[in-house]
Structure 1
Amino acid sequence: MNKPIIGITMGDAAGVGPEIIMKSLHDPLVYESCRPFVIGDSKIMERADRFVQTGLQIRSIQSVSEAQFQYGTVDCLDLNLLPADLPIGQVSAEAGHASFSFLKKAIELANAGEIDAICTAPLNKEALHKGGHIYPGHTEILADLTDTKDFSMMLSAPKLKVIHVTTHVGIIDAVKMINPERVYKVIRMAHETLQKAGYTSPKIAVCGINPHAGENGLFGYGEEEEKIIPAVKQAQEEGIQVVGPLPADTLFFRATRGDFDIIVAMYHDQGHGPIKVLGLEAGVNITVGLPIIRTSVDHGTAFDIAGKGIADEQSMKEALRQAIELAPKRV
């Protein structure tokens, strides 16, 4: 059996994560292509199934070796950190701490070679902080716990891929943080990631910071010339097929048309906005630069609809698909 083993972290138990996991694992095609199991809390997964009514059985396990990976049964590595009556749709320190613990356990299993990839359900940043873990999000936790210095967030939708130079910082801080070294490293990460995914010579486009990419100094204070152009030239000299900086207002349209394989965005909303316009259910978040494979849904905990059984699982299924595709192949 050489199908990859995928550890699915439950995320924030008060949100829709458990529900979309149950809905995704109700699809037999998932089990045909991988060996999935959940890292979380069996009680919460059982409660989630009462909302979504898949009829799947939850099987509590204490180690990956106990997992059976059989369709119809959801193996759950049960950390038993939460009460059965945890309030739904509310920020909770308990749920925040548990979501961190689920991810930490997944990282330990990946580092030990027991799983091939991690697929994460959403966590809530406020709950995470209340639980004593002060991180902006999943990406930064993964980088910290794997001692990774150079990493980036890549968003992937059917017609568009975007990788970010900066992410969870304010716009003024983002501009300060952008420099030629960082831009070059992100271009390189984009190139290498797509090559591993089968692109022989990925076509990369780099966004400008200012409107019209500065338009030769008309807008801004020369940020493109100082922070971006040296990085693009360095990558080009190494044979990477990259152009820019280009105006962001037209660049994303050109990429969806097929002109480019991936866009390097300078800051969070520059990259996230266009992806999410294409549909939250289609987007997947991939952390690039880690020693392990991690994919995630590209939406939040959706507290407003948690417990109603109506959350869309398509982003989770796509995240699983990409985890399977990117995972190292077992022999």
Structure 2
Amino acid sequence: TIQSLAQANFSEGALQVLQLSNLDPLAIIPGRPNEACAKAMARYIIEAVAMALEGPLDSVVTCPINKGLLQRAGYSFEGHTQMIAHLTGTHRPVMMLAGKRLKVSLVTIHCALRDVPSRLSVNEISEVITTTCRSLIVDFGITRPRIGVAGLNPHAGEEGLFGDEELNMVAPAIEKASKKCWEVKGPLPADTLFWRASQGEFDAVVAMYHDQGLAPFKLLHFSDGVNVTLGLPIVRTSVDHGTAYDLAGKGVADPGSLISAIEMAATIVRNRKKIGTEQASMAMAEQ
């Protein structure tokens, strides 16, 4: 345990624990977090982001949190992503789930399915596409990204027969984003798009809502998927699963996603240092 980063030893194999709270271990029941845990959890996030912004840390890797618990601590955010965006002054963060075979960015995240259409717009969809494109260049080292964009409705609306969101929002957003991105195709039927992406036709998929993107993603990357927040001034990755309090203390939880999140954060840091933010911005402008 260390009291400040100045005491840290970042040599290979060293594990440093920075003491940030005064939680009494004897007062904590595994799997049953209380208000004190909630406040400590929020502080860990705030301090980690601050250290990444100020420079001592290259990246932040977060474990899952309970969103209801976060709000009990006095923070009215839908989750990690929105809280970290607020702390970093980021207008439009993008949630991407990333694995070796599939990368998926979401336009809407945690909202009721009935609310999805009203949360979509040409600008929202376009921003997610362009942010995804930039991340593929800067974070993943893909020089000419290929992005497939899913439609909202079955068969991507079938030319308006099953809904007009594709005609009125998705297609115009793709046209707008195409001015800044190498290759963007869509709107495409989701039932075939994810298979095509998993076979290497696309470097990433932009999905319109949570389960449209995460259901196929987790079929491929249930144990090693990584949640990456795009558009931030810092590198932030996380696991792609929840808290699973029912597994606390049983020694049966799978650490695969957390291991992958740590490894991916290190990879993104290396890629960003290699390409340089200024060079990446120029690459986007030339597209």
Instruction: Tell whether the structures are fold-level matches, with TM greater than 0.5.
Output: yes
Between 71-80 and 93-102, report the one with greater CA deviation.
71-80
CA deviations on 1:263-292 (whole Å, 9 max, x unpaired) are 001111111111112242110000000110
- Aligned AA for 1:68? N
Q: How far, CA to CA, are the matches of 2:180 and 2:227 in structure 1?
A: 28
Q: Contact 1:155 / 1:286 at 8 angstroms: preserved in 2?
A: yes
User: Identity percentage over the alignment?
Assistant: 43
Which residue is equivalent to 2:263?
321
Q: Aligned-pair distance for 1:240? A: 2.6
Cα separation, 2, equivalents of 1:115 and 1:236: 35
Which residue of the partner structure matches residue 10 of structure 2?
Answer: 69
Between 1:112-121 and 1:88-97, the stretch displaced more is 88-97
Whether 1:121 aligns to 2:48 is no
1:211 aligns with 2:154: yes
The Cα shift of 1:177 comes to 1.1
Question: What's the CA shift for 1:81?
Answer: 3.4
State the SS of the aligned residue for 1:286: strand
Deviation, 1:312, is: 1.1
What secondary structure is seen at the aligned counterpart in 2 of 1:110? helix
Do structure 1's residue 171 and structure 2's residue 109 form an aligned pair?
Answer: no
CA distance in 2, matches of 1:224, 1:160: 23
Local SS of the residue matching 1:153: strand
Query: What is the identity, as a one-letter code, of the residue corresponding to 1:80?
Result: S
Question: 2:21 aligned to 72, 76, 80, which one?
Answer: 80
| CA–CA separation in structure 1 for the residues paired with 2:101 and 2:65 | 26
Equivalent position of 1:292 in the other structure? 234
Kindly provide the amino acid, as one letter, of the partner of residue 84 in structure 1. Answer: P
User: Which amino acid letter does the alignment assign opposite residue 6 of structure 2?
Assistant: S
Deviation at 1:71, TM superposition (A): 5.2
| Inter-partner Cα distance in structure 2 for 1:326 and 1:240 | 21
User: Which of 129, 133, 147 lines up with 1:191 in the alignment?
Assistant: 133
> Which ranges in structure 2 are unaligned for 5 or more consecutive residues?
275-287
Cα distance between partner residues in 1 of 2:37 and 2:4: 22
What secondary structure sits across from 1:61 in the alignment? Answer: coil
Letter matched to residue 229 of structure 1: A
The TM-score, its normalising length taken from structure 1, stands at 0.78
Q: Deviations over 1:272-321 (max 9, x none)?
A: 11111224211000000011000001111111111112211111111011
How far 1:92 sits from its partner (Å)? 2.0
Q: For 1:194 and 1:181, locate their aligned partners in 2 and report how far apart those are by CA, in whole Å.
A: 20
Greater shift after overlay, 87-96 or 294-303?
87-96
TM-score with structure 2 setting the length: 0.90
Query: Which has more helix, going by share of residues?
Result: 2
Q: For the residues of structure 1 that align with 2:51 and 2:244, how far apart are their CA atoms?
A: 28
Counterpart position of 2:102: 160
Question: What SS is found at the alignment partner of 2:98?
Answer: strand
User: 1:266/1:139 Cα in 2 relative to 1: closer, same or farther (>3 Å)?
Assistant: same
1:25-62 CA distance string (max 9 Å, x none):
xxxxxxxxxxxxxxxxxxxxxxxxxxxxxxxxxxx111
- Cα distance in 1, alignment partners of residues 13 and 178 from structure 2: 51
Q: RMSD over aligned Cα, in angstroms?
A: 1.5
Give CA deviations for 1:146-197 in whole Å, capped at 9, x if unaligned: 1110211000022100001111111222210111111111110111100112
Once the 2 structures are TM-superposed, how far is the Cα of residue 237 of structure 1 from its aligned partner? 3.6
Q: Aligned equivalents of 1:277 and 1:157: distance in 2?
A: 11
The structure that is strand-richer by fraction is: 1
> Which residue pairs with 2:189 in the alignment?
247
Q: Is the 8 A contact 1:96 1:123 kept in 2?
A: no
Aligned pairs, how many?
270
- Which whole-Å CA distance do the structure 2 matches of 1:295 and 1:132 have between them? 24
